[in-house]
């Protein structure tokens, strides 16, 4: 699942964490953030990815610091020194991680299920919980 491409960008510059409330199937998923390109490549956007675990049959709040998102290209982590352009987020998505993830997670081909209740942007560095666009 992902946001509609071309719907415009939004600004997460004032935030440092994404929170997601998910109910899953015991598999790992990949959370992807797409930003406007500033790497000097031929691509029009840059992808940043982080793994999340969705426990089976229970609602769970996943907190992902934006600093844990790694830059990727064609599914591989790339070694660059640039930081994520948090002020120009052009899209987000969740996808199944078939062959990677946490020890004990369900792996391989087969049926999968991920429910998403909400996504929020938080500022947690100073201990305050400031929320952006919820639900």
In a domain? residue 62: yes
In a domain, 4, yes or no: no
Query: For the segment 30-83, what is each residue's pLDDT rounded down to a tens digit?
Result: 999 999 876 555 566 788 999 999 999 999 999 999 999 999 887 778 887 778
For the stretch 10-45, pLDDT in tens is: 899 999 999 999 999 998 999 999 998 765 555 667
Spatial strand order of the sheet with 89-96 comes to 76-77, 70-73, 45-54, 27-36, 89-96
Flag whether 52 is in a domain. yes
Does residue 78 contact residue 23 with C-beta atoms inside 8 Å? no
Rounded Cα distance between 49 and 101, Å, is 13
Domain-located, residue 9? no
Number of structural domains in the chain = 1
Q: What's the pTM?
A: 0.79
5 belongs to a structural domain? no
Has residue 132 been placed in a domain? no
Helices (H), 5-125: none
**Within a domain: 11:** no
106: which 2 tokens? 């369900």
* 85/27 Cα distance (integer angstroms): 29
Confirm whether 34 is domain-assigned: yes
What range defines the domain where residue 117 resides?
Answer: 17-126
């Amino acid at each position: 699942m992902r946001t509609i491409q071309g719907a415009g960008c939004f600004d997460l510059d004032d935030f440092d964490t994404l929170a997601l409330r998910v109910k899953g199937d015991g598999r790992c998923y990949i959370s992807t953030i797409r930003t406007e390109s500033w790497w000097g490549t031929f691509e029009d956007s840059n992808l940043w990815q982080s793994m999340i675990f969705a426990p089976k049959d229970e609602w769970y709040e996943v907190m992902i610091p934006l600093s844990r998102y790694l830059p990727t290209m064609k599914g591989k982590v790339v070694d660059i020194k640039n930081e994520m352009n948090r002020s120009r987020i052009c899209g987000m998505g969740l996808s199944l991680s078939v062959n990677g993830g946490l020890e004990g997670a369900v792996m391989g081909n087969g049926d999968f299920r991920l429910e998403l209740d909400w996504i929020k942007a938080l500022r947690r560095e100073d201990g305050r919980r400031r929320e952006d666009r919820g639900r």
